[in-house]
Structure 1
Amino acid sequence: MTNEHENNPQKLKQKLLEEYQDKTLEDLDYGEEIETKRGSCYRFTTHEKVEIKTLKEKKVNECLIGDLKLIKGIGPSKERKLKENGFITLDDLRDHPSYGTSACELLEKLESRDVCSLSDWISTRYSASHHLNLLLSSLSGAEKMLFMDIETLGLKDVPLILIGVAEGNKDGLTINQYLLRNLKEEKATLDGFLSHQNSDNVYVTFNGRSFDVPFIKSRMRFHHMDEKINSQHLDLLHFSRRQWNDQLPNCRLQTLEKHFFGFERCDDVPSSKVPEFYLTYRETGNIGPLVPIIEHNREDVVTLAKILSLLHHCSDLKD
């Protein structure tokens, strides 16, 4: 694809309709129909060589143990006074008459690498986008992260179109994208997505705390699906704003792509036009308008892994 249609979605759509008029989904690479316990849908599986960088466990432990404010009742002023009196780490608080019990409880969670409980603990003291939550993700390990992005027919109370989920492994990312060929396949698509989840996973999204996860939960309620979505969640939009808000014109995903990775998308379908492109596919049976939606979603989840690695790298430099 080229840049000539970048600012004209209608021309792009017409080009795609002409280019793919005699093709079917089976002509696209890496796709297949799959069966789930709730019916069939279509899945694309691809791989991407991306190094997912995390911080060393020793460094994460040092940052957590050195933050006395993780204990209820200790604020910045109290922490300063405690450190002046020799209570430098949580270990030093073990026998403290007021804070010893809480310090021991937190240290036990850290020693057992209970990431879920640690995340809940940190969230009672800090915001979800606090630096310590980013550090904590390193304890989970890349293999437990699910990089996730969705495409939908609108902002609320409408069906999904596509769910992309990427899993980290030693070779990079394995990306699975679950597509609704028609709106009756939404339950099967959700089921396919949920098959990647287990109790140890951490979702990694971009604005997913406000949009993607609530949207999926809403669609699951609509279909009376009682599975639970994991509470462990890194929303990279908020971490990106903390890190780069004063350096960039904005912290949109594609701005970060262009600035940090030198990547500029060609013939990308704007998010606002995704419903229109999908509905054209449904009305005509022509897969052309689907192609940039699938590629847009795939590029989004790959970029999530790159941004997370960059945030960890910045944390390494800062600390």
Structure 2
Amino acid sequence: MPSPKYQKHEEELHNSISLCNDPVERLKARLMDEYQDKSLEDLGGEEIETPQGTTLQITNKEKIKFHLKSPEKVEKSIKCDFKLLPGIGDSTASRLKGEGYKTLEDLSEHPRFGKNAQIFLDRMDDGKSCDIIDLVKNRYPASHKRVLECAGFKEPEHFIFLDIETMGLSNVPVILMGEATLTGDEIEVKQYLSRDYGEEPAVLSAFTSHVNEDTAFVSFNGVTFDLPFIKNRLRQFSIKQDLNRPHFDLLHFSRRFWRDDLPNCQLTTIEEHLFDIERIDDVPGSRIPNYYKTYHNSGNIGPLVPIIEHNRMDIVTLALIMSRMHDEI
């Protein structure tokens, strides 16, 4: 029977071999060697003050081609969709079109459907973009192309493209929050980094400070994960902020658009097949907690580098996907 000392040696050898065979661990080791003499200041960015304390803000800008269907085109399209009214399905809509009713304005004169058509038109004329989106969601699933089309009612600068990095799936700290906004032909990404766990409230505060009544969120699985996670952490620190805004979750739209054309609808798969983007030295999301722990325990900033870049690329890709989808609507 092997001695305990021999067993320990065997375990250490096995772990060493496993690390050598793991490209993610090899990447971490290489980055720690590369950044061993560098500090947080070398990551760029600036320290910012929030109502919850200080945190590090990293800002990047780059050119982007982003466009959505114009509000006029979206409105015209919606007003030709009779299925937005109660009691009208495919066959009834087809019959009404055959009878010469082409738009909701035409249908407002119909003896049966006219009243509902006029109510819908009045609500469209009186409502804000978020109200129109709600009107459409009353008749279509949240992932339907007609809902995504309504993004054209928003001004580009009103979108917040968001992504978060956390230490796990629930009830753990947020370590990085990224958001991007559009101005002209540029996308500006701001990332708020927890330099230690105690800065999480400041990170949350920095992100929520940019949310206003015109905001619409764009995410990838954010309806299920990111936004509920953020709300939970806000409650944890008694930070009050209303985040109930229109939300375009591109994961669900992607499945409707491309599930038959792509191997899967993961973000990196979409990048590779639709935008010819190949990530270099990327760290999988599931390994980010391990990378952050290594940084936190060692003080070596190397493991932070791919976390920040992973988050930045996720956000920029959101804008590319949304624009591409509007090309296909």
TM-score (norm 1): 0.93
Q: Quick check: 273-282 or 55-64, which moved more?
A: 55-64
Q: Which has the larger radius of gyration?
A: 2
Among 118, 133, 156, the alignment partner of 2:132 is: 118
Residue 141 of structure 2 aligns with an amino acid whose one-letter code is: S
Q: Quick check: 37-46 or 80-89, which moved more?
A: 80-89
Residue 102 of structure 1 deviates from its aligned partner by 3.0
Map 1:19-34; keep pairs closer than 5 Å: 19-29=34-44, 31-34=45-48
Secondary structure at the aligned position of 1:176 is classed as strand
Identity across aligned pairs (percent)? Answer: 47
Aligned partners of 1:114 and 1:100: how far apart in 2?
23
Residue 280 of structure 1 aligns with an amino acid whose one-letter code is: T
Residue 327 of structure 2 aligns with an amino acid whose one-letter code is: H
Aligned partners of 1:65 and 1:131: how far apart in 2?
15
Aligned partners of 2:86 and 2:271: how far apart in 1?
39
Q: Quick check: 74-83 or 130-139, which moved more?
A: 74-83
The CA RMSD measured in Å over matched residues stands at 1.7
8 Å contact from structure 2 (residues 36, 302) kept in 1: yes
Q: Quick check: 104-113 or 6-15, which moved more?
A: 104-113
Aligned partners of 1:280 and 1:261: how far apart in 2?
33
8 Å contact from structure 1 (residues 68, 90) kept in 2: yes
Q: Quick check: 43-52 or 56-65, which moved more?
A: 56-65
1:91 corresponds to:
105
8 Å contact from structure 1 (residues 202, 230) kept in 2: no
Deviations along 1:253-312, one digit per CA (max 9) or x if unpaired, are 001111111111111011111000001111011111001000000001001111111111
Secondary structure at the aligned position of 1:193 is classed as helix
Secondary structure at the aligned position of 2:168 is classed as coil
**Taking structure 1 as reference, are residues 147 and 7 closer, same or farther at Cα in structure 2, changes over 3 Å only?**
farther
Residue 153 of structure 1 deviates from its aligned partner by 0.4
Map 1:221-260; keep pairs closer than 5 Å: 221-260=235-274
1:291 corresponds to:
305
Secondary structure at the aligned position of 1:186 is classed as helix
2:71 corresponds to:
57
**Taking structure 1 as reference, are residues 160 and 6 closer, same or farther at Cα in structure 2, changes over 3 Å only?**
farther
Deviations along 1:220-240, one digit per CA (max 9) or x if unpaired, are 121122211133011111111
TM-score (norm 2): 0.90
The higher relative CO (CA closer than 8 Å, separation ≥ 6) is in 1
Aligned partners of 1:195 and 1:169: how far apart in 2?
18
Residue 48 of structure 1 deviates from its aligned partner by 1.4
Q: Quick check: 111-120 or 7-16, which moved more?
A: 111-120
* Count of residue pairs the alignment pairs up: 310
Residue 167 of structure 1 aligns with an amino acid whose one-letter code is: T
Aligned partners of 2:216 and 2:145: how far apart in 1?
16
8 Å contact from structure 2 (residues 55, 194) kept in 1: yes
2:168 corresponds to:
154
Aligned partners of 2:292 and 2:118: how far apart in 1?
54
Residue 98 of structure 1 deviates from its aligned partner by 3.9
8 Å contact from structure 1 (residues 168, 174) kept in 2: yes
Are 1:79 and 2:64 counterparts? no
8 Å contact from structure 2 (residues 40, 301) kept in 1: yes
Residue 73 of structure 1 deviates from its aligned partner by 2.1
2:230 corresponds to:
216
1:165 corresponds to:
179
Residue 69 of structure 1 deviates from its aligned partner by 1.0
Secondary structure at the aligned position of 2:198 is classed as helix
8 Å contact from structure 2 (residues 215, 245) kept in 1: no
Aligned partners of 1:190 and 1:220: how far apart in 2?
7
- Structure 2: 5+ residue runs without aligned partners? 1-19
- Structure 1: 5+ residue runs without aligned partners? none
Secondary structure at the aligned position of 1:177 is classed as strand
